[in-house]
Amino acid sequence: MNKILVTALSFSKYNKEPLSLLQKAGCEVVWNPTGLPLQEDQLCQMVADCEAILVGVDPITRRVLEAGKKLKVVAKHGVGVDNIDLQAAAALGIQVTNGPDTNSEAVADLTFGLMLAAARSIPLADKSTREGKWPRLVGPELYRKKLGILGLGAIGKRVAKRAAGFSMEVLAYDVYQDAAFAAAHQVRYLSLAEVLRESDFITLNLPLLPDTREIINEKTLCLMQPTAYLINTARGELIDEQALYQALKAGRLAGAALDAFIQEPPPADHPLLGLPNVVVTPHMGAYSYEANRNMGMAAATNILAVFRGETPPNLVKY
């Protein structure tokens, strides 16, 4: 019986089909008992006799991989694999898989939800109204504004498609350009600096890589318009949080909406949490019923393929 350590807290939580797929294949599933992402020491103890890890955001370090003497595969419940030591996995002969395009619609939805929430101060309006106040909060429309998308991959493309409903002009920055998509959806590729300068709204839909870490920093924030809004539904490490705080506090940026932080959850005294022009959510971009099923099925399918000695559908190449 193949033993699988499931650390992803939302695996099969809202749809039992992924778990059923593993159980029907005769797999033994060991669950994360803590209700929180596991730490390295905990992972090392729990992975010792497992052949697979179905992982969320837990740190899959070289030490964890070495502790898993029977490990064949690490399957990400989602897309980003920045929490997995890919070089160590390759050296140890452990396959890594993910679920590309499984949560793109959900994250794109939240991107627009956050954009509207920040622009129209919806969380503040809700709170004030419940307190018996009746404020007239004023903000910009999205209609016919310029939307800058940093990272025109699967999620960024969904954001671009939704922008058409608001008649937005879409600008994009990406190292890899999809000319066919850009032509079909009236997207203009520009340099990073040009996108930042011209856009009324900036959305971060980039993977976390050495070249994208803190891509939003003191220098790049200075390029943005003081009336612009920054939306992040990707990774907290894409932003220099202290620089963003200073820009927002000084009025050099109109607002921000953040679904991701460097430390999650952020400490209660995190400076960004104290600003009225910042909307925050608990890294919930992928938390739709549909995405939960899609991510779970992808992870389960990848694991079972490895157990059968097949190449998994979504093998991460590194």
Tens digit of pLDDT at every position of the chain (318 positions): 899 999 999 999 999 999 999 999 999 999 999 998 999 999 999 999 999 999 999 999 999 999 999 999 999 999 999 999 999 999 999 999 999 999 999 999 999 999 999 999 999 999 999 999 999 999 999 999 999 999 999 999 999 999 999 999 999 999 999 999 999 999 999 999 999 999 999 999 999 999 999 999 999 999 999 999 999 999 999 999 999 999 999 999 999 999 999 999 999 999 999 999 999 999 999 999 999 999 999 999 999 999 999 999 999 987
264 is catalytic: yes
Say what angle helices 17-24 and 289-307 make with each other, to 10 degrees: 20
The fourth-level CATH superfamily of domain 104-280 is NAD(P)-binding Rossmann-like Domain (3.40.50.720)
CATH class, 3-102+288-307 region: alpha beta
The per-residue b/e assignment along 66-83, b for 16 or more CB within 10 angstroms, e otherwise, is ebbeebbbbbbbbbebeb
283 is catalytic: yes
Point out the catalytic residue in the list 197, 252, 283, 293.
Answer: 283
Point out the catalytic residue in the list 218, 264, 290, 310.
Answer: 264
List, by residue range, all CATH 3.40.50.720 domains of the chain.
Answer: 3-102+288-307, 104-280
Sign of the C-alpha dihedral, residues 144, 251, 266, 52?
Answer: positive
235 is catalytic: yes
User: Which of helix, strand or coil describes residue 103?
Assistant: coil
Point out the catalytic residue in the list 77, 158, 162, 235.
Answer: 235
- pTM equals 0.92
